[in-house]
Amino acid sequence: MQPLELYRSQQYATAIYRAHLAEKLQKLGYEIEVDARTGAPEIRGFSREYIAENSPRPEEIKQEAREMKERLESEGFSVKEGAGLNQAAAKTDRASKIHDRDEIRRRHHEMDAKHGYQAQHITQQAIERGEVSRSEDETARRAHESVTFARNDATEREAVSDMRKVMMDALRRNLGLTTYKAVQSELKARQEYGEFVDTTREHRPEETTTNRMLELERANVQTMIDGRGGQSAIIKDSQIQQTVDAITNEQKVKLNDGQRAAVAQILTSRDRIIGLQGGAGTGKTTVLASVREAAESAGYEVEGFAPTTRATALLAESGIKTQTLQKFLRYYSSMKQMTGVKRDRDRPLRSCQARTLKSTLCERA
């Protein structure tokens, strides 16, 4: 058994379970609503007080954790509060439970009486109402909408997505408004149509991408190919050694052979797009700081763009003025609409975009 994949499948299995649960509840005549916090389907009509009193376990775990902490500290152990303590308390508390169906039923009747017989009223209404159903067209339309949402969400930041995530997002999207079978059929039909493209990687679960994503990837590759050798180098080959030495002395840093090679390649390249990749701790920030210094000394304006705020902060450590891509595109689009002014394509500019925490893309606009 592979525990990692079982762990990764937890949310996927939960989404399938909830879809079936919602469908079966509605067939029994219950109206449902989705908890905005947990995403779980709940029977409509119960008060918050009733639900809270029927869910005592969180408080039981907190109480068990407090008692466990006090007991261990009295024995001379140092106990840190947090997830570990709560997990141990949950296991201890669960192990002590005795399940007596008659006793549980009696408690439920007592609690229902305490809260105005809500459960009896809701059950009677469900019996009188009969199955909560929707037309096949409505169910299919909701399934189509769900799969479209899942497709867009899956490819927003990743080129390839786990099929479990696609199915999970689709099931969550219109929980209670469509069915598991309808979503599954819609997804399968769009796979057969070619909208979703299966990918195969060794020792990986089933994954997918889309035709649109493949077209974008082809366009990216073609843009890179078209930009080869078409630009002027920032620094001439004959001057690169002297330039790097001067910059490192001024910044009081020492570059290793790999870093020096990366700096030299970026500064002397005549390609429009240059990719720089390195693992954590390999000195990418130091390299970019040297590139920035050399480019600015040569008259270039260096700008940084990143997909997330965290990546922006990391890229800015090199001294490059950085903003998120979304902010730049929003600002540039609004300015273009207001003024109709286009950017001067002849202005010398190099931009560095942190695509991930391990790679940086530099491009001349």
Q: By mean pLDDT, which of 52-56, 106-110, 171-175, 358-362 is the weakest?
A: 358-362
Give residue 128's pLDDT. 94
What local confidence, expressed as pLDDT, does residue 349 receive? 46
Average the pLDDT over 330-339 and give the result. 75
Residue 329's pLDDT is what?
87
Percent of the chain at pLDDT exceeding 70: 90
Is pLDDT larger for residue 332 or for residue 10?
A: 10
> Which range has the worst mean pLDDT, 80-89, 243-252, 323-332?
80-89
Q: For position 281, what pLDDT does the model report?
A: 80
pLDDT at 333: 78
pLDDT band at residue 352 using 50, 70 and 90 as cut-offs: low
Q: Which residues contact 274 (CB under 8 A, 6 or more apart)?
A: 265, 266, 361, 362, 363
- pLDDT category at 346 given cuts 50, 70, 90 is very low
Region 79-96 average pLDDT: 72
DSSP letter at 238 equals G
**Band of the pLDDT at 362, cuts 50, 70, 90?**
low
Check whether 199 has a pLDDT greater than 80. Answer: yes
Average pLDDT over residues 73-83: 80
pLDDT at 361 over 70: no
Q: What is the pLDDT of residue 246?
A: 87
- Closest to 27 in 3D by CA, of 170, 176, 171, 145: 176
The least confident of 95-104, 259-268, 340-349 is: 340-349
* The pLDDT of residue 94: 61
pLDDT of residue 126: 95
What is the rounded distance in angstroms from the CA atom of residue 183 to the CA atom of residue 187? 6
**pLDDT for position 91:** 75
Q: Looking at the predicted structure, is the pLDDT value of residue 315 above 50?
A: yes
Mean pLDDT of the chain: 84
Question: 194-203 long-range contacts, Cβ below 8 Å, gap at least 24?
Answer: 195/151, 196/151, 196/166, 199/160
